[in-house]
Amino acid sequence: MSEQYTVEETKGGPSWQLPAIAILGLVALGALGFAWSNSTKLDATKQTVADQMKAVQTSVQQDVTALKDRLVASEKANTELQGDLKVVTDKLKITQGQLKKARQEATAQNNQTNEMVKTLDTSVHSELATKATSDDVKTVDTRVTKVSGDLDKTNSDLNMARSELGTLIARNHDEIDVLRRQGERDYIEFTINGKNQPQKVGNVTVELKGVNEKKNRSNIVYTVEDKRYEEKNSNINTPIFFYMSGTHLPEELVINKVGKNTISGYLSIPKANQPSATAASTKSGR
């Protein structure tokens, strides 16, 4: 009896394949995790950079806005300064016509004030005649008289033109006397006959250079504390201001009248400047 052998083939791979596959899987997972970590860090870095850029842009925008605001403020201040300079320049270029207009307005105001005083006086007397005793009427009459006196003085001031510094300008001898009685300034009247003949007036020296009779203008040179100043085409009744050393109030030189090679006017000296003015007058008297 013959023996039969059965050969069974066992199919299978080498024993190292499974561990290798596991190791490769772990490496792949590690690489994936590393990539994911780097991607997260990159996104965070991008966000940080974006935030920093946004902060820088905001800061730059704020700086630009601040610079624009400063530029606008500077332009506004420059415009205001130019406007103030124009106003001052216009005041310094006041013409004879403007002075005439100011006097006309002052006269109109004077007439209006007189009418108001008359109306007030009539109204007060009418009311007191029916409601007050004779003693009250006398008292009120005294007050009305005082008010009228004050208004007369005010009217006298209104009839005179004022300079750009607010001082009253006298146009003749009578108005100079009115200003003298106010006691705020000393007034020295003068007349200069002939050109190129320096004449001492108070604490200044005045020299006539030429006149324009038709236009009531004159050219003069005046010397203050050894400094010579020239005034050309000066209108009459237009004050020339100057300051003496150590004083805070201006002195005024005013020409009231021009003729053929002659001018007349006055020098106005504030009482506050009197000590230096007196010394200068004493020297001129010698």
pLDDT at 144: 55
pLDDT at 153: 54
13 within a domain of the structure (yes/no): no
pLDDT tier at 281, thresholds 50, 70, 90: very low
12 within a domain of the structure (yes/no): no
Count: domains in the chain: 3
- Percent of the chain's residues with pLDDT above 90: 30
8 within a domain of the structure (yes/no): no
Tell whether 220 and 255 lie within a shared domain.
Answer: yes
Q: What share of the chain is helix, strand, coil (3-state, %, to 5)?
A: 55, 20, 20
For 176-232, the pLDDT digits (tens) are 999 999 888 999 999 999 999 999 999 999 999 999 999 999 999 999 999 999 999
Dihedral sign of CA atoms 57, 59, 64, 65 in order: positive
- 24 φ/ψ angles, rounded to the nearest 5 degrees: -60, -40
205 within a domain of the structure (yes/no): yes
237 within a domain of the structure (yes/no): yes
Domain final residue pick, 159, 192, 214: 159
Tell whether 272 and 174 lie within a shared domain.
Answer: yes
Tell whether 280 and 174 lie within a shared domain.
Answer: yes
112 within a domain of the structure (yes/no): yes
Tell whether 154 and 176 lie within a shared domain.
Answer: no
State which residues form the domain around 109: 96-159
Which of 283, 246, 271, 103 shows the shortest CA–CA distance to 187? 271
Tell whether 77 and 135 lie within a shared domain.
Answer: no
pLDDT at 116: 73
Tell whether 278 and 232 lie within a shared domain.
Answer: yes
278 within a domain of the structure (yes/no): yes
Domain final residue pick, 134, 159, 184: 159
Tell whether 246 and 275 lie within a shared domain.
Answer: yes
Question: To which H or E segment does residue 271 belong?
Answer: none
DSSP-derived 3-state class of residue 94 = coil
For 4-35, the pLDDT digits (tens) are 545 445 455 567 777 878 888 888 888 878 88
Angle between helices 96-131 and 134-158 (to 10 degrees): 180
DSSP-derived 3-state class of residue 220 = strand
23 within a domain of the structure (yes/no): no
Tell whether 269 and 212 lie within a shared domain.
Answer: yes
**pLDDT of 151 strictly over 80:** no
Q: How far is CA 259 from the centre of its chain?
A: 40
